[in-house]
Structure formats: structure tokens, C-alpha cells
């Protein structure tokens, strides 16, 4: 097994729950219902805060209700990953990183493709936050990468990870299928590796292309697993305005609808580390 940099973590502490696909839509106006969205987030965070390590606040949720999402997580003493994927000119990336750090984020991310200067600017402004570099998104295919960069996904991810390390970032975000090769490179030994694209065997891929199971990601050497829809299901398609729908979907308020992934995740991760 490739070595994680955080072998002392409890299994559940490796889980970052993505608070995605939870935005409520008012069926009458077809507009975002901020109050119901906030209520859904509050209920989910309250019931998961002792079962997972962190919560991810991404573009969709932050665009919908802004810093309210952060306030909700902090109200429950939760730690969070502010996943806004900064990709702009160096000054803008640096200032945005400073603002994100001021919210108290544990993790902040920037696109490595923004370049070395942008990454340096983010490093200078990250304060105590862990700064992660986005490599190649899990939705991007091998064919796309070869067209864009004239090399394989694995080659490009490795190149971007080396740039992230050189710029002073704390870690990178990559597909779980890319982890093993990164762990084999001694120059990347100290980088945190955070992996989205985590799916239980047999579950839907949705828009993710390069995915694997939780156990396989940990065996490859991932430090943290970002898990969204397998835990939170897909309540964005529910337009009834029922704030309890998401909890029912993950089996916390409706035992009959219980999703076994929530119960077995720590066991799976433990097996993956053995």
C-alpha cells in the first residue's frame, strides 16, 4: 500500500462531505429558496458532524446562499473546505485566498493551471489554511487531456502536482485513479492528496469519469476522500420544498430509506488501510 501522509487519522476523519445538490428550488418561481436550502444544510451538518471530518462548501452552494453556508457549519463547530477553485490572474487569486482564509476555512483550493505566479500569490495569502491545487478534474477524459496537452492524464497530473509542490502548496486534488503514481514519487511525499470521484461499487457515476471505491482510494494513498452524492443522494431534483428530504435520502430520518454507505464507510476505510 502506498503511504498516506496522515496514517494517524481515524477513518471517519478522512471523509469530507460535499454539501452539493442540496439547493432548494421554489416550484412556483423556479428560483432558489435560500431559507429551505439553509435549513437542509443545517439539518445535514447537525447529524453528520460527529461522523465525518469536514464539510465541503462548493461553487453551487456558495453561489446560492454565500457565507451563510459557512456560518451554518461553524455554528455546529464543523470544519470546512471552501472549494471555490480559484483560477484567475495572480492578484485576484491572492486576494480571494485571503478572503477565504479569513472565513476560517481549513482547506482552500486554486487551479494549478492558473500558473506558478497565481499559486505563489495564494500561498502568501492562505494564513493557516491548507492550500490545495486542483490538477485535472475527475470529469475530464483521457482523450480530452491528450487533445489539450498532448500527454496522458497521469502525466499531466504528475506535472501539475510537482508544480504545486514547488509553489509551496500543502496538497493537491486529483482523481483517485491518479493517486498511486503520485505516492510513488518521492518529490511529492509530503503533499496531502484529496480525492473526489469516490463511489461505492455499483453506484452511479453521474458526471464523474475517473472514479474508484473508498477502499481503493485509501489503498492507493489518498489522505482525504470527498464524498457527496453517495451520502447526500440527489435532492436537487426534489422541488417540493421539503427540507427533510435530504436526510431521508441518507437514511437518518427515515430508517426504511437507510443508505448503507453511511454506516459502512468507516469500516470500508479501515479495511482499505490494512
Instruction: List active site positions.
Output: 85
The burial class, CB within 10 Å (0-12 / 13-18 / 19+), for 197 is buried
Unique residue bearing C-alpha cell 504528475: 158
- In whole angstroms, give the CA distance from residue 91 to residue 81: 22
Phi, psi of 112 (to 5 degrees): -65, -30
Return the bridge partners of 38, or none. Answer: none
Identify which of 261, 273, 264, 138 has the alpha carbon closest to the alpha carbon of residue 215: 273
The burial class, CB within 10 Å (0-12 / 13-18 / 19+), for 260 is exposed
Amino acid at each position: 500500500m502506498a503511504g498516506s501522509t496522515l496514517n494517524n487519522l481515524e477513518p471517519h476523519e478522512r471523509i469530507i462531505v460535499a454539501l452539493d445538490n442540496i439547493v432548494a428550488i421554489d416550484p412556483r418561481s423556479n428560483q432558489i429558496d435560500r431559507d429551505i436550502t439553509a435549513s437542509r444544510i443545517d439539518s445535514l451538518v447537525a447529524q453528520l458532524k460527529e461522523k465525518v471530518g469536514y464539510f465541503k462548501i462548493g461553487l453551487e452552494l456558495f453561489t446560492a446562499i454565500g457565507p451563510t453556508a459557512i456560518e451554518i457549519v461553524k455554528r455546529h463547530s464543523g470544519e470546512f473546505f471552501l472549494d471555490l477553485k480559484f483560477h484567475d490572474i495572480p492578484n485576484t487569486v491572492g486576494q480571494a485566498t485571503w478572503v477565504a482564509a479569513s472565513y476560517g476555512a481549513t482547506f482552500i483550493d486554486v487551479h494549478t493551471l492558473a500558473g506558478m505566479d497565481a499559486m505563489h500569490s495564494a500561498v502568501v495569502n492562505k494564513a493557516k489554511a491548507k492550500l490545495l491545487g486542483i490538477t485535472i478534474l475527475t470529469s475530464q477524459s483521457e482523450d480530452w487531456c491528450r487533445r489539450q496537452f498532448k500527454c496522458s492524464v497521469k502525466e499531466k497530473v504528475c506535472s501539475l502536482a510537482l508544480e504545486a509542490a514547488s509553489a509551496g502548496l500543502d496538497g493537491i486534488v486529483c482523481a483517485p485513479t491518479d493517486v498511486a503514481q503520485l505516492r510513488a514519487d518521492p518529490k511529492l511525499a509530503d503533499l496531502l492528496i484529496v480525492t473526489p470521484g469516490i463511489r461505492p461499487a455499483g453506484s452511479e457515476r453521474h458526471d464523474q469519469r475517473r472514479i474508484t471505491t473508498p477502499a481503493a482510494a485509501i489503498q492507493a494513498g489518498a489522505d482525504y476522500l470527498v464524498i457527496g452524492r453517495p451520502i447526500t443522494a440527489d435532492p436537487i431534483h426534489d422541488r417540493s420544498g421539503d427540507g427533510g428530504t435530504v436526510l431521508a435520502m441518507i437514511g437518518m430520518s427515515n430508517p426504511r430509506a437507510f443508505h448503507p454507505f453511511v454506516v459502512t464507510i468507516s469500516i470500508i476505510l479501515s479495511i482499505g488501510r490494512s
